[in-house]
Chain A
C-alpha cells in the first residue's frame, strides 16, 4: 500500500436524524440540511483525514427501512450491496431509538460492519433520559458513539471508532441472524438451502436476506431474481406464496407483518434496560406545545397564511434597497461604457447584449437571496412538514399528496423559487402518479426567474399595489397547479392515492450557519446561471436581433431623411432642438426596422397574427421565445429589444420607464402577459429535469406543449374578455 489507506464509510439513517449535519461536521462539506423527509436525495461524498487514513464518507439518502418502497431506499440499499463500503455509520435520533434501530437491524442483516451514532443526545438529556451506550454496544456487537452533530460533538470519537473498526479483526462481518418465529424460520432455511451453491445474488446480498425479501414480496429483488435464475426464482416465489397462504389462514396475517413484528421484538430485547426514563422530569415537550398552536384548527391555517404572506413582505422590504443600488450601478456602467466604446457593433454587443441582459438578471439577486433565506428557515425549522400535514386534506382533493407542497413551494409557491430543484424534490413522493402530476404542474408557480418580469410589469402598471399583485400572481399559480393536477389525475394520469405516513420532526431552531450557507448556495447558483447560460443566451439573442442586418438600400431612406433634417437645421428652417427631436425619432424608426428585419424580428412578426389574440406584439414574442431557454431571458430580451430600438446615449431610461412610455402597452396587455408567462412552457433546464425525473422524454414534451397551450388559451381568453370592458 502506497500513500494513505482509504476507508469507505456509508452514512445511513432515518430522515431528520441529523445525518446530513453530521456529514457536514465530519467532512466540512457544504450541503443543505433539511427537516423535511427526504431532503438528501442526491448522494453526497466527502473526505476527512484521520491519522494516516483517508476517510471517504458517502451520505446515503435518509430512509426508514431498506425495502423497495421508495427511490431513496433503493438507492441506499443498492449502494450498500454493490459498493460494499468498509462500514456503515448509522446516524440515529437517540430520542426515537426504537424506530431508528429498525433500519440499523436491516443493515446488520446485510452483514456490513456497523457503527451506531446516537445523535441529538442533547435533546435526550434535556428530556431527562439516559442511555446506557455500553450495554447497547455489547448487545449490538459494534461501537456506539454519542454525538450532537449540530455542535460537532462526538465527531472525533466517531473517527477513532471508524479507524478502530477498520483495523479490527473481530468486528462482526457476518450478517445478523434474527429468528422470525416457528412459521417463517423453517421456510427461510429451506430457501437458503435452495440458493446454496448457485449463482444467485451471491456478490450482492446474503442468502438469508434474499429469502426475507422474497417473503416480504419485494418487487425489485423478485424481478432481479427472475433475470438471474428463472427456475430458482420461481421456486422461491412458490415457497413464499405457500407460507403467505398459511399465515393468512392460521394467523390472519402476512409474512411481512410477522417479519416486522420480530424485528421490533429483537429491538425491544436490545433496548431492555438501555433507556432509563426519569418520569418526574418528563414533560410536555416544547414541540408539542408549539404544535398545539401552529397546527390548531383555526389558528394553524391563519398562522400559516400569515407566515407565507410574511415571506413576501420581508422580501420586498429587505430586498428593495440593494436592488436599487444594483440597478444604479448597471446604469452607471452603461453610460460610461457608451462613452468609452466607439459606436458600432461592439458597443451594441456590450451594452445591449451583455449588460442589459445580465445586469437585468443580477439586479434581482437581493430579492432572491432574502426569499431563499426565509424558505431555508421554514424547511430547517420543521415547519414545512406541518404545512404538508395541514394541507394534505386539501391536496388530496386535487389528486395530490401533502408532500406535493414541498415541490410546489420550492418551485415558487412562495414566489422566488425555482422549478428545477422543485421538480427534483418530487422524488420524495412515493406514488408515480402523484409525482408526475406534481412535476408537470409545479412549473406553473412563480419561480425566481419569472419574478423580475412580474415585478417589472406590476411596477409599471400597478405601482401602488406591487406586493398585492405579486401575491395574486402567486395565488393564480397555485390555482392553476391544483386545477390542472386534478384534470391530469382524472385523465392522463389516473389512479388511486398513496399513503401519507409521514414523520413530523420536532421543531428545531435552525443553525444560522446552515441557513446562510444554503441561501448563499442558492443565490450563487442563480448568479452563476446569469454569468454562464444567460450570458450566452443574451449574446445569442442579441445576434438574432442584430443579424441579418438591414440591407443598405433599406437604410438609405432613413439616412436621407436625417440629411434633410440636417440641412433644414443648417439653413435655419427649424430650431436645433426640434431638429434633434426629429432625428431621434428617425433613428428610433430605423432601429425598429432593423430589429424587425432580424431573425428574431421575423419570427416574432410571423407569430404576431396568432399572438395578437393575447395582445402580444412582435417584441413580446421575441422575449417569450427567449424565455423558453430561461425565464430570466424574457426581461433581458425585452431590455435588449427596447434599447436596440433607440440609440444608447446618456441617461438611458430603465426598461420600466421605457415600457411605461410605450403606447403599445397597457394594463390589459400586462395582465395577459403576466398570465402567459406564469403558465407557459417550463424553461429548457426544467424540461430536461422533468425528462430525467419522469424517466420519459414524452412527459417532458407533454409539459412544453400542454403548458403553452394552457397559457395561450388563458391569456387570450382573459385579454379578449378585458377588451370588452
Chain B
C-alpha cells in the first residue's frame, strides 16, 4: 500500500487513487457528481498559471478544482 497524502501535494502527471473525500454539503455533492469518490483513479494533468486551480483526469475526462477544495480529498499513491 502506498502513502496517503492530500491531493494538493500531488505533482503534475502523478497518478493516485482517492481514499477519502471529506467535503460536505454543496462542495461535497459537486465533487461526487463529478466522479471524485473513494476508489476513483486520478491523475494531475496540470495547474493553472497561478498554481491554482488544478486540472485532474478522472474517469476519462478533465476537471478543475481549486487547491482549497482539493484539500478535502485524500489520495493514496
Contact = CB atoms under 8 A, between A and B. Distances in A.
Given A67-B29, A295-B55, A501-B34, A394 B50 contact: yes
B75 to A, nearest CB: 16
Contacts of B21: 257
Contact of A504 (B25, B32, B36, B63): B63
A498 B51 CA distance: 19
B64 A256 contact: no
Interface stretch (A92-100, A324-332, A533-541): A92-100
Given A257-B32, A295-B55, A501-B34, A389 B61 contact: no
A582 interface: no
A50 to B, nearest CB: 32
Chain A contact surface mostly: helix
B26 to A, nearest CB: 6
Contacts of B28: 254, 256-257
Nearest to B21: A257
Interface string B28-64: 1111111111111000011111111101001111111
* Most A C-beta atoms less than 10 A away, residue of B24, B48, B50: B48
Contact of A393 (B40, B46, B50, B62): B50
Contacts of A97: 60
* Most B C-beta atoms less than 10 A away, residue of A65, A67, A257, A390: A257
B63 A291 contact: no
Contact of B46 (A261, A292, A498): A292
Nearest to B35: A99
Contact of A392 (B24, B31, B53): B53
A464 interface: no
B36 to A, nearest CB: 8
Nearest to A68: B29
A105 to B, nearest CB: 12
Interface residues of A, number: 46
Interface string A41-77: 0000000000000000000000011010100000000
B30 A501 contact: yes
B76 interface: no
B46 A295 contact: yes
A286 interface: no
A291 B45 contact: yes
Interface string A329-355: 000000000000000000000000000
Contacts of B63: 501-504
Contact of A260 (B37, B47, B65, B69): B37
Contacts of B49: 295-298, 300-301, 390
A291 B24 CA distance: 31
A111 interface: no
A238 B1 CA distance: 40
Given A295-B55, A498-B26, A502-B64, A65 B48 contact: no
Nearest to B52: A393
A260 B28 CA distance: 10
* Most A C-beta atoms less than 10 A away, residue of B24, B25, B39, B63: B63
Interface string B11-28: 000000000010011111
Interface in A216-258: 216-217, 254, 256-257
B24 to A, nearest CB: 6
Interface in A375-432: 389-390, 392-394, 396, 402, 430
A92 B51 CA distance: 31
B53 to A, nearest CB: 5
Given A389-B53, A394-B50, A504 B29 contact: no
Contacts of B37: 257, 260-261, 264
Contacts of A95: 60-61
A504 B55 contact: yes
Contacts of A182: none
A441 B52 CA distance: 24
A93 B55 contact: no
A695 interface: no
Nearest to A16: B61
A102 B52 CA distance: 27
Contact of A98 (B25, B52, B59): B59
A133 to B, nearest CB: 17
Contact of B59 (A67, A99, A301): A99
Interface in A73-113: 93, 95-99, 102
Contacts of A3: none
Interface string B62-77: 1111100100000000
Given A99-B60, A506-B62, A390 B48 contact: yes
Contact of A64 (B33, B38, B46): B33
A500 interface: yes
B24 A389 contact: no
B4 to A, nearest CB: 15
A215 to B, nearest CB: 12
Given A96-B60, A288-B45, A502-B64, A102 B35 contact: yes
A663 interface: no
11 contacts: A64-B34, A69-B29, A69-B33, A96-B59, A256-B32, A295-B48, A298-B49, A392-B52, A499-B30, A499-B31, A502-B64
Top 5 nearest A-B pairs (CB, nearest first) are A260-B32, A393-B50, A96-B61, A65-B33, A99-B35
Interface of B: 21, 24-40, 45-53, 55, 58-66, 69
Interface of A: 64-65, 67, 69, 93, 95-99, 102, 216-217, 254, 256-257, 260-261, 264, 287-288, 291-292, 295-298, 300-301, 389-390, 392-394, 396, 402, 430, 498-506
Given A67-B29, A217-B25, A256-B32, 9 more contacts: A257-B37, A261-B39, A291-B55, A292-B46, A295-B55, A297-B47, A402-B53, A430-B30, A498-B26
